[in-house]
Structure 1
Amino acid sequence: MSMVSDAYEYYDQRFRALTVPIAKVERLYDGCRWAEGPVWFGDGNYLVWSDVAENRMLRWVPGLGVGVFRAYSNNSNGNTRDRQGRLVTCEHLTRRVSRTEADGKITVVADRYNGKRLNSPNDVVVKSDGSVWFTDPSYGILSDYEGERAESEQTGCHVYRVDAQSGAVTIAIDDFVKPNGLAFSPDEKILYIADSGRSHDEKGPHHIRAFEVGEGGKLGKGRVFAEIEHGVPDGFRVDTQGNVWTSAQDGVICYSPEGAKLGRIKLPEMVSNLTFGGEKRNRLFITATSSLYAVYVSANGAQRP
């Protein structure tokens, strides 16, 4: 285990109350091709994440280290858990969102819209009403590195909602270039969605947008919540106070609920995603290129379980 020193940058005094200055950033594992999609299992006291290009999922257990969770993961990317504690996974290779049932069986949540295959689901979140929301950029079909090269069958890269009762797949929003990470505010009245379009076009979007969530999952008009100056926003999470912690190039930036940039945790690699975990959900687990990092903070993650 290695440590990262001088990891904090404070842009606003409020960030000091959200961090533990004496807590070092720890590298828990190094050996991935592209680490992504961390998800915490509080009932099992372990973390699972994707190694997308290596086509596997790994598991870190405190005191025991890292082992293979799933050897052939269909180039899995983003992960979350639903309200029953089941693992929900975005798979690039199969171009679907899957769910791992309590007995280990894998079922399909969504793999098509209007009878046509999805692009390559990237990140996913489950609302308290059981609806599944996921982003569908084209990263997994652009080459054979993180999936399989193919032509898109959809009209673009959209954000989708899967109804909890009927299983119907609908487009929640369709004006993104490369929709990526997404998360609800603690009260679920706002849905934040990242657009990482600058990853393949220097003039493309590189921001997080915020949408009011109405009845039946209808989204109101979006607004730009935060513009990422360097790199693009990828995965992010929200704490119980409504602060947004997002990946941004070689670090994690924290924004207040109003969109003020509070501070940054610096990493030596490009950050892809993050999640809160640990017994009190006050440990930030960060996937960054080849590694898994962790740091204790003074914030608590809003997402359960």
Structure 2
Amino acid sequence: MSTPPTFVAPPVILAATPVRPLASPQPALAPALPAVCAVNLMTLEGAALLGAQWRTKEAKIIEVPAIPDAMPEFTTTYDIDPHAGEAGFDDSGWPIILPTELDAKRGGGKVSFLWFRTRLTIPSRIGTFESAGAKVVLALCVDDYAEIWVNGEMPRAAGRPSPATIQGFNMPQRVVLSDAVTPGDTFQIAVFGINGPISVAPANTVWFREVRVEFF
């Protein structure tokens, strides 16, 4: 009795999909080493060293027209007001808060957002530490999430570590402000604090666990 022939399907060859270049460079990552010098911005002394004057304002969710290419059934959507991270934003009408009040439990809970803004000016010397040429990192942790804007930009790249974006539930964030600072350099900081988890709409508030400037 003869054996029926065996047919083997030809292999399927998939062409490799070309990798698209990133739209923006990967944000710089903070060193894992301990800082040579650190300034606590939640103290009067630390804030004074960098000329920090904190201001805060609650952000609201507002209804706006949908984007032009939205599906027909979506005629409206939602936005944040104000967009206080953008360059040139005027916060002069916002209330000033003391650095020692950054841990105050702000917001009404549930789905709640708050902006915190300050300008930082790098001094030439902090104690015996000379800042010229140092790498400078803004390190903070907001309960529960935060997005960090520096000089009108939120440093980020899709698919790459981007410390200025949400890192996790009550997770610390460390954003490089400069790889080699010059005394007198200024940085406009805007922190968008978010109560979360957002879909839980929890009965808690928005506040800083820590915020400091590190030098390496």
TM superposition score normalised by structure 2? 0.28
Larger Rg: 2
TM superposition score normalised by structure 1? 0.22
Give the structure with the larger strand fraction: 1
